[in-house]
Amino acid sequence: MWLCAAIGAAATCLCFTMFIACFFKQLKLAIDVVDASADFIMVTKRILLVPLVYFFLSLIVVIIWFSGYLGVMSMNEMEPMLLIPQAKSIKWTGDTVGYACVMWFGLIWMLCILDYAKNFIILVSASTYYYNSP
């Protein structure tokens, strides 16, 4: 059993060595990419705040949107359900369905604007680093 394990380990090591020999160019490129990205992060440490600020701005937008959506929902007629006394049945009208669709469109639009602004900030910092790096 130990002999089979040793043969299997030797075959695995041989296959790994062959992969390194055959794909050395791609491995070197991957190491260079990791090295360049580490240099970029060390020079532009402020870029690490961008995803955090994006998260909090998106959270604020969703909270404000949800409160507005609750206002649109409250414009409908509500009736108590028979089985669950605290639950309500909402009867949507044509106007409020239109308002709700506009609200959903606005939410997606605002989140896309925030996402594109975040991507723009990252792209500008990367290109500035690229043209000003030593």
pLDDT tier at 60 (50, 70, 90 boundaries)?
very high
Q: Which amino acid is at 109?
A: W
CA angle 21, 25, 28 (to 5 degrees): 105
Torsion of CA 103, 105, 108, 109, to 10 degrees: -110
pLDDT tens for residues 38-54? 888 888 888 889 999 99
Q: What is the pTM of this model?
A: 0.67
